[in-house]
């Protein structure tokens, strides 16, 4: 077994959770190594022009691992045997931010205090059903105001553009009909604007305005002008090639961990990237993690990497199973309160127009937050007890509807093969809209990740097993949000609308969060407010596993934000790496 | 991407699975080599396919032609080369489904013989549609895919049914980039007016509510 020289910081996985911290820590003089199981693919060498191919990257899933490399299983009930499910995140340098969409935002202020907010708005009596169902909603140990500057740092340094909806309390200060008026107040504007609108966006927007709602173009981690980041990294704007979600960007216009952050870490001379290293265990001595073991995926050789501080950045499932496999379980709390996105569906086609939905990256998208968080609380107060729910969803209109990704979207009653099917697709494929509805799932006592006794990965580490079922709140929210989506598309003039308010319990593999909940109390949380493990103070968690609740929004900007946040706490000593209880 | 990784070593268990898998891979390679050796001699006899026999190829074409038929609007899956696409995929990345196709096509050919007393060539569209409809409706246990070897099938991660497998692969063959052997002369993309591989869309192109005219292009043209 090869043993390497000690490093100040050892990162396990190099995705969103590791990227910002890798820059901040190496700039502050720490020696940092990132052990990443996947290869290092680059825009010029690996994505151009091969990226312009839906079959290769999306259908044949060009970047995702086999089940036997990253086993993941799922069951709804404790008594069931869990069955295998696909792990759909790309594993390579940059993590899943390489093939992500780039819809990027801050959480609401009240996302950081969900429990207090709903108690104030609705009272204990109205929320009884949540308790009966085992919902474990809490407040975060940090507030929006504390992390606002870190959110801004992500926007400027990683490269995220948008229309501001609220600068220091001023609503829609730059453009009167653009920006999200319900967003948390920002101190400063975005560094650039988001993508332009296409026919799909304009159609959705029209419907939303007809309904008296507040549509806006979503903020995008995609450049719309040549951009020089504060790190001195310059990248060109997006050409709207549309081979975007599921693909690595050939043009380096899509902001991700690799193009926006890695070069800044490398430039310090203190950072070493080691691709092709699959970490299998954290080794402890006297109650302290001292090294990790990994397998070189090319040679199969086993290595040991000692270090002083460890950052778990291998995505929620891997972070949890590595800890459990290494015997670090925080008295059974590791893996609890797991959350994953479950969406209802609304599809529509138009007779009076073509949308050519294939053109445009997926995140070229209008959307709205009128039903997200507690924005619609007055409307919800009017709901009957059987329909009432807390929190809500973002609703938006994605693009990138090319034939290979859309040929299965046919309304009930239309056959899925044969002459009628062909006639239908020929007429309607380019007249199709399908909504995204980011319903917020709640955390539950009974929703968790543990080790699967029946499946191990190729290196002998047990796979992750998810146990989760849909709660009453998810069911009610699914129905409500589905109906709002239908109203918007009706108002937009859709000829035919179909879909379902049902939501699924199975992990959707994009927004898998919780499991290593952060909190102020070591008895009820796994990490403290700096994502530092109470029971293993030199181990920090980078990634959504620390989220106490999830928000009706995509998680990655918050993951990047927390990575800067925890790194600063290490650097300025607010996080004491000898004692997680002693923090500023 | 996993092909970039060496086979895992480690515990005995790993080594055993690795050896088993390596043996499987070797067999596939050997079979493919054999195909390649007599490819030239047998090309005519086989109808130009690498994996499918002539009879299998005919049956596959008949099926593909019913899933995405030629009509007044234009060519269907046969003309688009969807079966060539599947044939190539089965000789490469979809090798794990070779046996599933063998078993399925054997099963269908047998049914045709028993019920109609001939080969697929003797069936009309209605009979073919009935056959496919029944395949689509088959209960799990009766599906030819049930119990076949193959890691993804074992794990329950493969296609839901053999009909699902064939339909998915035919549609991939219709809508894939032509470099994969399907979507010949952009027949699939023309049917739905999808211009294919382009680096750039302009604001003018994106903001029309009419069909867009842009040249059909393959990734090979970039
Ligand atoms: C198709 C798709 C679209 C998405 N779109 C959006 C979006 O629009 N907006 C948004 O906010 N989010 C989006 N996401 C989610 C986003 O990708 C994740 O939130 C984010 O990548 C999670 O960051 P992470 O660091 O926790 O994990 P990752 O980014 O997945 O990084 C983890 C890294 O660890 C490596 N690793 C795993 N195990 C090991 C091991 N044992 N040893 C060494 N390395 C290991 C992996 O290879 C990987 O590179 C999308 C995801 C997908 C799949
Ligand atoms: S659409 Fe833009 S950001 Fe997305 S891959 Fe193409 S060029 Fe890159």
Domain at A211, CATH number: 3.50.50.60
Beta strand pairing call for A513-515 and A336-339 = antiparallel
Q: What percent of chain A has pLDDT over 70?
A: 100
The answer to the question of residue A190 being in a domain is no
Query: Where exactly are the structural domains of chain B?
Result: 3-221
Q: Residue B32: its pLDDT value, please?
A: 37
Touching check for B71 and chain A: CB below 8 Å? yes
The answer to the question of residue A97 being in a domain is yes
Determine the residue among A46, A49, A55 to mutate to test chain B binding: the one whose Cβ has the most chain B Cβ atoms within 10 Å: A55
ipTM over 0.90 threshold: yes
Residues β-bridged to residue A434 = A347
Cβ neighbours for A138, distance < 8 A, ≥ 6 positions apart? A114, A115, A443, A517, A519, A524, A548, A549
**What pLDDT, in 10s, does the model give residues B197-219?**
999 999 999 999 999 999 999 99
Spatial strand order of the sheet with A496-500 comes to A432-434, A345-349, A496-500
**What pLDDT, in 10s, does the model give residues A139-174?**
999 999 999 999 999 999 999 999 999 999 999 999
Touching check for A43 and chain B: CB below 8 Å? no
SS3 content of chain A, % helix, strand, coil (to 5): 25, 20, 50
Tokens standing for residue A293: 């073991």
Does residue A155 contact residue A139 with C-beta atoms inside 8 Å? no
Q: Residue B141: its pLDDT value, please?
A: 80
A404 CB neighbours in chain B (<8 A) are 171-172, 175-176
Q: How many domains does chain A have?
A: 1
The answer to the question of residue A330 being in a domain is yes
Beta strand pairing call for A513-515 and A72-75 = unpaired
Does residue B200 contact residue B194 with C-beta atoms inside 8 Å? no
CB pair distance less than 8 Å for A359 and B14: no
Nearest listed ligand to the Cα of residue A250: 2
Q: Which residue has the tokens 């490399």?
A: A69
Q: Atom 45 of ligand 1 has which residue's CA nearest to it?
A: A13
Q: Where are the alpha helices (DSSP H) in A461-542?
A: 472-491
Q: Measured between CB atoms, which of A60, A197, A297 is closest to B5? A: A297
**What pLDDT, in 10s, does the model give residues B146-201?**
878 788 888 888 888 999 999 999 999 999 999 999 999 999 999 999 999 999 99
Residue from A44, A50, A158, A243 to probe ligand 2 pocket by mutation (most atoms less than 8 Å from CB): A243
CA distance A56 to A63: 10
Q: Which residues of chain A have pLDDT under 50?
A: none
The answer to the question of residue A35 being in a domain is yes
Q: Residue B39: its pLDDT value, please?
A: 42
CB pair distance less than 8 Å for A53 and B8: no
To the nearest whole angstrom, how far is the Cα of B76 from the nearest Cα of chain A? 9
Q: Atom 4 of ligand 2 has which residue's CA nearest to it?
A: A244
CA distance B116 to B121: 11
Band of residue B47 on the pLDDT scale cut at 50, 70, 90: low
Three-state DSSP at A572 gives coil
Q: Which residue has the tokens 């502050």?
A: A28
Does residue A356 contact residue A503 with C-beta atoms inside 8 Å? no
- Residue A163 Cα to ligand 1 midpoint, Å, equals 26
Burial of residue A353 (CB within 10 Å: 0-12, 13-18, 19+) is middle
Band of residue B41 on the pLDDT scale cut at 50, 70, 90: very low
The answer to the question of residue A209 being in a domain is yes
Closest CA to A289 of A273, A311, A267, A271: A311
CA distance B218 to A44: 19
Phi, psi of B188 (to 5 degrees): -70, -45
A238 pocket-lining for ligand 2 (C-beta < 6 Å): yes
Which residue range(s) make up the domain with A490?
2-76+89-167+196-571
To the nearest whole angstrom, how far is the Cα of B41 from the nearest Cα of chain A? 32
For residue A310, the surrounding DSSP H or E stretch is strand A302-312
CB pair distance less than 8 Å for A84 and B157: yes
Band of residue B21 on the pLDDT scale cut at 50, 70, 90: very low
Touching check for B159 and chain A: CB below 8 Å? no
Q: Please state the atom number of ligand 1 nearest to the C-alpha of residue A93.
A: 49
To the nearest whole angstrom, how far is the Cα of B108 from the nearest Cα of chain A? 18
The answer to the question of residue A577 being in a domain is no
Mean pLDDT of B97-101: 93
CA-only gyration radius of chain B, Å: 20
A353 CB neighbours in chain B (<8 A) are 209
Touching check for B118 and chain A: CB below 8 Å? no
Interface of A with B in 519-538 (CB under 8 A): none
Touching check for A357 and chain B: CB below 8 Å? no
The answer to the question of residue A494 being in a domain is yes
CB pair distance less than 8 Å for A295 and B8: yes
CB pair distance less than 8 Å for B200 and A239: yes
Burial of residue B215 (CB within 10 Å: 0-12, 13-18, 19+) is exposed
Does residue A317 contact residue A339 with C-beta atoms inside 8 Å? no
Q: Residue B139: its pLDDT value, please?
A: 80
CB pair distance less than 8 Å for B13 and A456: yes
A66 CB neighbours in chain B (<8 A) are 2, 151
CB pair distance less than 8 Å for B207 and A418: no
The answer to the question of residue A50 being in a domain is yes
* B18 pLDDT higher than 80: no
Residues β-bridged to residue A305 = A292
CA distance A507 to A11: 25
């Amino acid at each position: 077994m090869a043993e390497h020289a000690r490093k100040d910081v050892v990162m396990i996985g190099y995705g969103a959770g590791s990227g910002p911290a890798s820059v901040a820590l190496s700039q502050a003089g720490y020696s940092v190594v990132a052990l990443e199981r996947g290869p290092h693919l680059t825009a010029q060498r690996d994505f151009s022009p091969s990226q312009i191919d839906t079959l290769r990257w999306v259908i044949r899933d060009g970047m995702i691992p086999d089940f036997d490399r990253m086993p993941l299983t799922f069951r709804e009930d404790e008594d069931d045997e869990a069955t295998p499910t696909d792990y759909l995140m790309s594993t390579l340098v940059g993590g899943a931010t390489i093939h992500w969409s780039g819809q990027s935002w801050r959480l609401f202020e009240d996302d950081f205090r969900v429990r207090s907010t709903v108690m104030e708005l609705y009272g204990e009596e109205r929320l009884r059903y949540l308790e009966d169902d085992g919902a474990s909603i809490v407040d975060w140990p940090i507030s929006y105001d504390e992390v606002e500057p870190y959110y801004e740092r992500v926007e400027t340094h990683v490269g995220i553009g948008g229309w501001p909806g609220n600068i220091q309390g001023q609503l829609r200060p730059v453009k009167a009909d653009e920006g999200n008026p319900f967003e948390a107040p920002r101190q400063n504007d975005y560094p650039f604007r988001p993508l332009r609108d296409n026919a799909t966006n304009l159609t959705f927007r029209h419907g939303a305005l007809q309904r008296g709602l507040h549509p806006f173009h979503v903020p995008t981690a995609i450049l719309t002008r040549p951009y020089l980041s504060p790190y001195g990294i310059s990248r060109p704007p997006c050409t709207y090639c549309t081979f975007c979600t599921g693909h690595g960007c050939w043009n380096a216009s899509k902001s991700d961990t690799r193009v926006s952050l890695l070069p800044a870490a490398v430039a310090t001379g203190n950072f070493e990237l080691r691709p092709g290293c699959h970490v299998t265990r954290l080794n402890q001595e006297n109650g302290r993690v001292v090294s990790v073991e990994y397998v070189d995926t090319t040679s199969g050789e086993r290595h040991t990497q000692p270090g002083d501080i460890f950052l778990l950045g291998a995505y929620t499932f891997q972070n949890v199973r590595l800890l459990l496999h290494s015997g670090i379980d925080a008295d059974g709390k590791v893996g609890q309160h797991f959350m994953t996105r479950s969406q209802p569906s609304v599809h529509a086609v138009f007779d009076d127009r073509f949308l050519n939905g294939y053109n445009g990256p997926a995140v070229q998208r209008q959307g709205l937050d009128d039903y997200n968080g507690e924005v619609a609380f007055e409307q919800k107060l009017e709901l009957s007890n059987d329909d009432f729910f807390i929190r809500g969803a973002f609703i938006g209109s994605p693009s990138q509807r090319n034939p290979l990704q859309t040929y299965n979207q046919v309304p009930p009653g239309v056959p899925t093969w044969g002459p009628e099917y062909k006639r239908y697709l020929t007429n309607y494929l380019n007249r199709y809209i399908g909504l995204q509805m980011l319903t917020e799932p709640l955390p539950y006592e009974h929703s968790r990740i543990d080790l699967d006794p029946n499946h191990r990965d190729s290196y002998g580490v047990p796979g992750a097993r998810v146990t989760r079922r849909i709660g009453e709140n998810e069911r009610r929210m699914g129905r409500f949000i589905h109906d709002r989506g239908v109203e918007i598309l009706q108002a937009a003039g859709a000829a035919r609308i179909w879909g379902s308010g049902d939501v699924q319990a199975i992990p959707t593999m994009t927004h898998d969060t919780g499991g290593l909940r952060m909190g102020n109390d070591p008895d009820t949380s796994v990490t403290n407010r700096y994502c530092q493990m109470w029971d293993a103070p030199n181990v920090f968690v980078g990634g959504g596993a620390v989220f106490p609740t999830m928000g009706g929004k995509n998680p990655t900007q918050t993951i990047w934000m927390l990575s800067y946040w925890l790194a600063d706490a290490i650097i300025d000593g607010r996080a004491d790496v000898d004692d997680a209880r002693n923090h500023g | 991407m996993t092909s970039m990784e060496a086979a895992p070593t480690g515990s005995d268990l790993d080594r055993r699975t690795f050896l088993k898998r390596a043996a499987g891979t070797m067999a596939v390679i050997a079979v493919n080599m054999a195909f390649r050796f007599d490819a030239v001699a047998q090309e005519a006899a086989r109808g130009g396919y690498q994996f499918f026999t002539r009879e299998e190829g005919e049956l596959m074409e008949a099926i593909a032609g019913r899933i995405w038929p030629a009509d007044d609007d234009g060519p269907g899956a046969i003309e688009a080369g969807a079966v060539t696409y599947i044939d190539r995929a089965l000789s490469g990345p979809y090798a794990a489904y070779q046996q599933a196709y063998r078993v399925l096509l054997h099963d269908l050919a047998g049914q045709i013989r028993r019920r109609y007393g001939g080969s697929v060539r003797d069936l009309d569209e209605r009979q073919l549609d009935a056959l496919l409809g029944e395949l689509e409706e088959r209960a799990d246990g009766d599906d030819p895919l049930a119990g076949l070897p193959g890691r993804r099938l074992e794990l329950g991660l493969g296609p839901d049914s053999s009909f699902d497998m064939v339909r998915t692969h035919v549609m991939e063959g219709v809508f894939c980039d032509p470099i994969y052997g399907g979507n010949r002369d952009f027949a699939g993309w023309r049917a739905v007016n999808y211009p294919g591989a382009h680096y750039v869309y302009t604001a003018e192109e994106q903001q029309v509510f009419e069909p867009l005219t842009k040249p059909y292009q393959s990734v090979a043209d970039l």
